[in-house]
Amino acid sequence: MIKEEERQQAYAPDINSFHDISLALIHAKDFISSHSLDGSFQYAAPSCENLGYTPVELHGKSILNFCHPLDQEKLEKYFSSLHPGVILFRFRRKEGDYIWLESSSTMVNDHPEVVLISRDVTHRVNQAEKIKENQRRDRLFLEHSKDTMGIITKYGVWTYINEQGKKLMGATSFEEIIGTSLYDYINPQDYKLLKQSLDSRDSSDFEISLIRKDHDTKRAEVQLIPTVFKNRDVSLIIIKDITEQRKTEDQLQVAEKLSVIGQMAAGIAHEIRNPLTAIKGFTQLLSEHPAEEAEDYAEIILDELARIESIVGDLLVLAKPQASNLSYVDLISLVNGVVNLLNPQATLSDAFIKVKTDTPNLYIECEPDKIKQVLINLIQNSIEAMADGGEILVAISQDTGLASIQVIDQGAGIPEDRLNKLGEPFYSTKEKGTGLGLMICQKIIKNHGGKINFTSTVDEGTTVTITLPINDIPSNHEETSVFNHTN
């Protein structure tokens, strides 16, 4: 049995415990207050100083006087209901600004008094409002976007689509689309592409053919952005109708081809008409004076016919698909062979061709004769551009899977406004040039997966840079390819 004295001591107030409670009330994040049923403060904990007030300043005043006007009616009903619960309202601090308080209440037994425990939730409310505002803005953007926007599952099933999407699909209501699969609206040839994009869970862009509900076909550009929605893997999908854009591009390509054909036709007519005029004139002279200078006239006629044959031959190279005869070649040996071939010609023009390389061997897969044709054309152009002679440097290097060949001369250079026209048919910086030589060079390099670039400075010279992909040499090809092209 517990003695009565011990029982009284157990329930006796402890001065230290009162002190601890006071400290807790002062430093508490929650604001504790008691009110009469009309909302008047009967007690305010010291933590009310976080609101800018002292307990004395609040005592006897109604909480309704500190409440935002738009929340007063709600707070009045809260106090008059006499039912404990939670209420959210705005409270005016002494500085004049309002904060959001979330208060829970309890009724004191046998006393007409309400105890409120209030917490500042301004940051939480503002964040929630910001999220709602962003959601409203995003929805507004989605609904009024000119592109189709929606959400599809990893299996391609529509869970959301905007108004523009409904129009693109040819549907009369959203219910016709939601729950169906994107696969139902695309060409079967695009199934594999769509599945790979959905399975990869990476952002992707691709083109597909859409089949509307009225069976009309649209060309569309699709962007998939993987995301998570309600704990499910989904993709945000953006579809842009590019049907008209593709039609316009096709029309422009046709117009561009016709323009090029027209330019080439005019150039061909001009280039062939000149020798034909000479042939016609000297043929007439032969008919009038068959014995006089016949040999000289015949030689001129043959020269002009050879010129026509050369032009037609160049055109056939451009027009006809050439048979591909690829082999693995040591580019260094190939370049040295071309340089040895052209050095005598360069010497006659007081020029010298020098080869510089940072590697003893550099193998590429190519048509050797075609690459030789390009190099011969470019080096001959450099020789002809250097009227007073000089050095032509052929520099070979490699970098990140690419082989680079630079032909650098010390010629007169080409003005910047003419550089962009290099490679156009029948445009040439040489007096009797047709421009077809560089055009053929560009086609050959492009067919090898490479690029050709021109830079030039007037009175200093021109640099032509060719880049070609480097290929690993299969062991069964190594000896043959080197042997074939190093002789």
Quote the Cα angle for 465-467-472, to 5°.
150
Residues making up the chain, counted from first to last = 487
Q: Is the pLDDT of residue 12 over 70?
A: no
Mean pLDDT for 252-272 is 65
Q: CB 355: neighbour CB atoms within 10 A?
A: 15
Give the domain CATH number at 295.
1.10.287.130
Which positions ≥6 away from 326 have C-beta within 8 Å? 365, 366, 367
Digit-coded pLDDT (tens) for 420-435: 666 555 444 444 444 5
Give the type of residue at 290.
Answer: P
To the nearest whole percent, how much of the chain has pLDDT over 90?
17
How do strand 351-357 and strand 390-399 relate by DSSP bridges? parallel
Ordered DSSP codes for 245-276: HHHHHHHHHHHHHHHHHHHHHHHHHHHHHHHH
Q: 333 with 458, same domain?
A: yes
Q: Where does a domain end: 179, 212, 241?
A: 241
Do residues 240 and 219 touch, judged by C-beta distance below 8 A? no
Statement: residue 23 has pLDDT above 80 = no
Cα 164 from Cα 160, distance rounded (Å): 12
Q: Are residues 84 and 220 in the same domain?
A: no
Instruction: Decide if 4 is inside a domain.
Output: no
Domain boundary among 105, 121, 137: 121
Q: Is residue 251 pLDDT above 90, yes or no?
A: no
Same structural domain for residues 346 and 478?
A: yes
Q: Which of 67-81, 378-392, 467-481 has the lowest mean pLDDT?
A: 467-481
The beta strand positions in 331-478, using DSSP E, are 351-357, 363-366, 390-399, 402-408, 451-457, 461-469
**Residue 308 burial (C-beta neighbours within 10 Å; 0-12, 13-18, 19+):** middle
- Is residue 211 situated within a structural domain? yes
Same structural domain for residues 92 and 190? Answer: no
Q: Where residue 98 falls among pLDDT bands split at 50, 70, 90?
A: very high
What is the DSSP-derived secondary structure letter of residue 38?
Answer: T
Residue 280 lies in a domain: yes
* 353 and 440 part of one domain: yes
Residues 222 and 184 in one domain: yes
User: Would you say residue 327 has pLDDT above 60?
Assistant: yes
pLDDT, residue 72, reads 92
Q: What is the pLDDT of residue 14?
A: 45
Instruction: Order across the sheet with 98-107: list the strands.
Output: 41-44, 31-36, 113-120, 98-107, 86-92
Say which range, 31-35, 205-209, 409-413, has the weakest mean pLDDT: 409-413
Instruction: Indicate if 343 and 476 belong to the same structural domain.
Output: yes
- 356 with 444, same domain: the answer is yes
Does residue 155 register a pLDDT over 50? yes
Residue 405: what pLDDT? 92
Same domain, yes or no: 380 and 440: yes
pLDDT of residue 274: 67
Task: Report the number of distinct structural domains present in the chain.
Answer: 4
Q: What is the largest CA-CA distance in the chain?
A: 159
Higher-pLDDT residue of 484 and 238 is 238
CATH number at residue 226: 3.30.450.20
pLDDT at 7: 46
- The pLDDT > 70 percentage for the chain reads 78
**Do residues 357 and 433 both lie within one domain?**
yes
Is residue 133 a part of any domain in this protein? no
Q: How confident is the model at residue 140 (pLDDT cuts 50, 70, 90)?
A: confident
What global pTM score does this model have?
Answer: 0.42
The whole-number average pLDDT for the span 248-270 is: 67
pLDDT band of 406, cuts 50, 70, 90: very high
pLDDT of residue 94: 92
Least confident of 53-62, 164-173, 263-272: 263-272
Residue where one domain finishes, among candidates 319, 351, 368: 319
Q: Which CATH number is 378's domain given?
A: 3.30.565.10
Residue listed under structure tokens 């070609």:
468
Look at residue 3 and tell me if it is in a domain: no
- In this structure, the answer to whether residues 212 and 268 fall within a common structural domain is no
With vertex at residue 222, the alpha carbon angle to CA 221 and CA 225, rounded to the nearest 5 degrees, is: 150
Structure confidence at residue 426 (pLDDT): 45
* 192-196, 252-256, 360-364, range with the lowest pLDDT: 252-256
Q: Which of 395, 414, 416 is nearest to 404 (CA)?
A: 395
Query: Of all helices (H) and strands (E), which one includes residue 301?
Result: helix 294-319
Whether residue 306 lies inside any domain: the answer is yes
Calpha distance 169→175 (Å, rounded): 12
| Residue among 406, 481, 413, 411 at smallest CA distance from 451 | 406
Q: Where is mean pLDDT largest: 88-92, 277-281, 459-463?
A: 88-92
Identify whether residues 385 and 403 lie together within a single domain: yes
Domain hosting 65: range is: 15-121
Which pLDDT value is given to residue 458? 83
Q: Is the predicted pLDDT of residue 121 greater than 80, yes or no?
A: yes
Average pLDDT of the chain, as a whole number = 79
**pLDDT category, 142, cuts 50, 70, 90?**
confident
Give the pLDDT confidence score for residue 11 in this predicted structure: 42
Distance, CA of 315 to CA of 18 (rounded, Å): 106
